[in-house]
Amino acid sequence: MAYPAVRPTSGIYHMTRAYTTTSPAETEELARKLASDLRAGTVIALEGELGAGKTVFVKGIAKALGITTVVQSPTFVLMKVYEVQHHAVRRLVHVDCYRLDGSSDLRAVGLEEYLHDSTSVVVIEWADKVPELVPHDATRVRIRSVDEHERTVEITSPDRS
């Protein structure tokens, strides 16, 4: 399913695609595919309840970038930075806003520097908590639990064509 959508506030056209996955491995694979043509400078805003699969999705992105260490939600440190060996991307910045109250803590750990860095990919779990930090041209990933193993994953990305 694909349909174009306009975000009137930004004037940027976005395309939304919806997928269904039935296992963590499938969600990871979907993320790997999305990440296969990632450009540095991309911000990926993840939304979905606790246990939806946001971190699973980030693991897929990390694998696509060649990260072999274990990726876990940086719930207590807010932000984790992975240096990567990739032709276009120098680092993956993983942010988890679950325990966050407002965006000042994220400013304090230096997120904004990475948001404006054209060699980084930034992924933000619970991005809906910090709407003011998510750029208009971010890719949005919304994951919903249908049942224990089924998830719908809606990916909205800016149309660059």
Ligand X SMILES: Nc1ncnc2c1ncn2[C@@H]1O[C@H](COP(=O)(O)OP(=O)(O)O)[C@@H](O)[C@H]1O
Gap between the Cα atoms of 92 and 146, Å rounded: 29
* Pick 5 or 77: Cβ nearer ligand X: 77
Least spacing, CB of residue 81 vs ligand X, in Å: 18
Contact flag: residue 50 with ligand X (CB under 6 A): yes
| Among the residue ranges 1-9, 44-52, 80-88, 112-120, the one whose residues contact ligand X (CB under 6 A) | 44-52
Q: Please spell the DSSP secondary structure of 9-74, one letter per residue.
A: TTTEEEEEEEEEESSHHHHHHHHHHHHHT--TT-EEEEE--TTSSHHHHHHHHHHHTT--SPP---
Binding characters for Mg ion, 63-102, by CB under 5 A (x = yes): ----------x-----------------------------
Side chain identity, residue 140: R
Contact flag: residue 74 with ligand X (CB under 6 A): no
Q: Please spell the DSSP secondary structure of 102-126, one letter per residue.
A: SSHHHHHTTHHHHHT-TTEEEEEET
Contact flag: residue 146 with ligand X (CB under 6 A): no
* Pick 52 or 65: Cβ nearer Mg ion: 52
